[in-house]
Amino acid sequence: MKFALRLSLSFAVAGVLVWLLLVWSGTSPGEVWRTLRAMDSSVYWTSLAVQAAIYPLRAARFRALLDPDRPRPLARLIPITAAHSLTAYLLPAKVGEASLVVYLKRGLGLPGATGLAVLFVARLLDFATVAGALAAACLVIGAAGSYPQLDWLLPLGAALLVPTLVFAWLGARGEQLVRCVSWLLRRARLDRSVLGARALGFAEHVRTAMQEVRGGRLARAALWTLPIWALVFLFYAVLARGLGLSELCWAEAVFGSSLAVLSNLLPINGFAGFGTQDMGWVFGFTVLGAARDVATQSALAFHVVYVFNMVVFGVLGHAFIGRAPQR
């Protein structure tokens, strides 16, 4: 019942936000459809190839965070990565993120604490990279002087270096955060209940797993994170240019797409990110001079392509997981 309510609320939020965006920009759904139909087929196939290349890299990063003495085959990790990406994107309130723990346990027999530690560190590396990329884009665009009216870009770029370093530090010392959570649970005396005691026990397992992820494993995962996000930004840039924003330079594409990514990280968003992600996209590119209607049409058209591709890869991932023997 709760899940049905969350899903209904997610659909409602998506519908309202998309409607507000269409009204604000003076765009009709028919114009979004025409933008999609006008996209050159080479643009779509290029974006599909780029998106497909991201999954093996994400799988390789997950493998880098696991025990190197027991290497896991990429042939098993790639379907898990595709299935998790789809579940995490579609389920409301980000509850789908935890599905990685289930997939890793089912497909590779990994303990839940290990799966949660891997997910936690991978997401912190993602946050640090996106914040760093947005900081670099702000500094590059601001230093170029192409937008003299945007005099806040340089200060913003400098300020974004702080969360970049914070997320990187948390990725390297994540067990400290878990220790703080355990301390808060004890201070609130929740450890006296059966559920609280179990939560503390699980937190201790997660903390131990986080300690194991440090060092060489973390360094290898960080190295995989760079090409992952280079391809993510390339994917955004290819579709943005192919859907009407044809005069974007690399820094401008990173700026607009980073805001779209960060908007989609909000804990309360619409189904499949519709509305929130699109507003981040539109805000980023209209700030850089794109017309409202063009930015909105490209945002929604991009989103349709992205979700379609993700569903295809996610369904294939679930199919391969189902065929593989459980461990």
User: What pLDDT does 66 receive?
Assistant: 87
Higher local confidence (pLDDT), 178 or 150: 150
Residue 266 has pLDDT above 90, yes or no: no
Q: How confident is the model at residue 307 (pLDDT cuts 50, 70, 90)?
A: very high
- Give the pLDDT confidence of 38-68 residue by residue, as tens digits: 999 999 999 999 999 999 999 999 999 988 8
Query: Which residue has 């779209």 as its token pair?
Result: 260
- Mean pLDDT, the chain, rounded, equals 86
User: What pLDDT does 38 receive?
Assistant: 92
Residue 28 has pLDDT above 60, yes or no: yes
- Give the pLDDT confidence of 80-106 residue by residue, as tens digits: 999 999 998 887 666 778 888 889 988
**What is the distance between the alpha carbons of residues 216 and 267, in angstroms, rounded to a whole number?**
32
Inter-residue contact 21 to 303 (CB < 8 Å): no
User: What pLDDT does 107 receive?
Assistant: 84
User: What pLDDT does 37 receive?
Assistant: 92
On the 0-12 / 13-18 / 19+ scale of CB atoms within 10 A, 249 is middle
User: What pLDDT does 3 receive?
Assistant: 66
User: What pLDDT does 324 receive?
Assistant: 60
Inter-residue contact 157 to 138 (CB < 8 Å): yes
Residue 298 has pLDDT above 90, yes or no: yes
Question: Model-level pTM greater than 0.85?
Answer: yes
Higher local confidence (pLDDT), 236 or 5: 236
127: alpha, beta or left? (left if phi > 0; alpha if psi -120 to 50): alpha
User: What pLDDT does 323 receive?
Assistant: 67
Inter-residue contact 255 to 137 (CB < 8 Å): yes
Q: Please list, in sequence order, all residues whose beta carbon lies within 8 angstroms of the beta carbon of residue 55, skipping any fewer than 6 positions away.
A: 78, 81, 82, 85, 313
How many helices (H) does the chain have, and how many strands (E)? 13, 0
- Give the pLDDT confidence of 213-226 residue by residue, as tens digits: 776 788 899 999 99
Q: How confident is the model at residue 248 (pLDDT cuts 50, 70, 90)?
A: confident
Higher local confidence (pLDDT), 315 or 187: 315
User: What pLDDT does 247 receive?
Assistant: 82
CA torsion through residues 111, 116, 119, 124, sign: negative
Domain ranges of the chain: 26-173+214-323
Residue 193 has pLDDT above 80, yes or no: no
- Give the pLDDT confidence of 125-135 residue by residue, as tens digits: 999 999 999 99
Least confident of 23-37, 60-74, 150-164, 273-287: 60-74
